[in-house]
Structure 1
Amino acid sequence: MNTRFVKTIATTAALALALPATLGHAADFPASPASYVTPQAPAHAYPFGVLSEVRGGIFYHGYDTPEQGSGVDLNAELLSPRIVETNAGYWNYLIPRLHVGGNLNTDGKTSDGYFGLTWTVPIYQRLFGEISLGGSYNDGHTQFVPPVGYSAVGCHLMFRESATLGYQLTDHWSVMATAEHISNDHLCARNAGMTNFGGRIGYTF
């Protein structure tokens, strides 16, 4: 495996450990958006405790950057239940889940690991939407003039946001279209952000 990516994931894991300690006591209603029609349902006991959902998919890499079209990004993501247990009805949609994930570029270009908060809301029947905010750590080039074909990301630690539109196929399986963006918001010398988008599948325990 790409040693740069291994280092990236290791650093991201260390950063993710700084997330709230409430993760160890997380409880939630069923994460399946199909269950949101009954928001007063009792808390769901997940077989893996702090892990409620796993996701994976393929992203188009580096839209509108020097790395555009360089291979694809293999995405994987883990999500917790909501960080607190409550019977607050539809106010539950304001309570986020914790996530940690990563993108491995198949062409050796910029890969990253990320962590943060995810808010999931139902739209209509089994259709749902999501917004995620957090941080990421990438293995990209930070020098002012990077090698040809590489993006100058400015710094390794960056902000990350994403938006998802999904459909719950069953109580366990879902499909999603996701767009994500990382940037340093001009906190570093260069701010060549990275935008990826593609499709994923998810499995809720």
Structure 2
Amino acid sequence: MTRLGLAALAAACLAAPAIADDERGTEIRLGVTAHDLADHVEDGPNITVDALFASPDFLEAIWSPRPYLYGSFNTNGLTNFGATGLAWNWAFSENWNFEFRTGLSYNDGVEDIDPNSPPDDPTRIRLATTRSLMGNEILFHNAIGLDYDLNDHWSVGAYYEHISHGQILASGRNQALDNAGIRVGYRWGR
């Protein structure tokens, strides 16, 4: 997944002139994602809520990303997470936009299995077979998305996101989560 993140970052950097012209204002998005696509250990869709804000002037030096707040809530009561960071937008045609975002997230998932528990411990077996072992509460949040502007206010899109510690924010377990989904957004203040 690191290669995908680096490729998306490179694409965002190459698109800097188009990104710098983006004045998308404030936006609220609601979505639904398929949860844990890579490992398929955790199940159930996630409901997502996303708030993106107009880029402040001091971020012009890094191509005017929009700050974001994001929440992802699992409908089966498994790993939920919230994230914050920066989102770069590249309008590559009149109505189509590519987005790359990066930030930090906090999750309520299982960090790891107790190393002192015996191999036949029922709790150990249940956690190993039903939960992604995140390795840390604080993880990186990276996402790419493709959105279509229906008009000046409404958009629809699809996106992919990845949360993990990448052996940087922690060491050891790093099963991470990969989610993909669809979203609808409402924008104002353009």
Q: TM-score, normalised by structure 1?
A: 0.70
2:42 counterpart of 1:81: no
Cα RMSD after superposing both structures:
2.2
Write the distance in 1 (CA, Å) between the matches of 2:98 and 2:135. Answer: 31
One-letter amino acid of the counterpart of residue 172, structure 2: A
Deviations 1:69-99 (A, max 9, x none): x11000001011012179xxxx898111100
TM-aligned CA deviation for residue 188 of structure 1? 2.5
User: Would the alpha carbon gap of residues 149 and 173 (structure 1) be closer, same or farther in structure 2, given more than 3 Å must change?
Assistant: same
Unaligned runs of 5+ in 2: 1-20, 115-123
TM-aligned CA deviation for residue 144 of structure 1? 3.3
- Percent of residue pairs identical: 31
Unaligned runs of 5+ in 1: 1-27, 32-45, 47-51
Q: Runs of 4 or more off by more than 3 Å in structure 1?
A: none
TM-aligned CA deviation for residue 160 of structure 1? 0.8
2:166 counterpart of 1:185: yes
Q: TM-score, normalised by structure 2?
A: 0.75
Q: Which residue of 2 aligns with 1:62?
A: 36
Asked whether the equivalents of residues 29 and 51 of structure 2 are also in contact (C-alpha less than 8 Å), the reply is yes
Q: Which residue of 1 aligns with 2:182?
A: 199
Matches within 5 A, 1:58-137: 58-68=32-42, 70-84=43-57, 94-137=63-106
Q: Which residue of 2 aligns with 1:25?
A: none
TM-aligned CA deviation for residue 66 of structure 1? 4.3
Asked whether the equivalents of residues 51 and 69 of structure 2 are also in contact (C-alpha less than 8 Å), the reply is yes
One-letter amino acid of the counterpart of residue 59, structure 1: T
Q: Which residue of 1 aligns with 2:133?
A: 152
Write the distance in 2 (CA, Å) between the matches of 1:29 and 1:196. Answer: 26
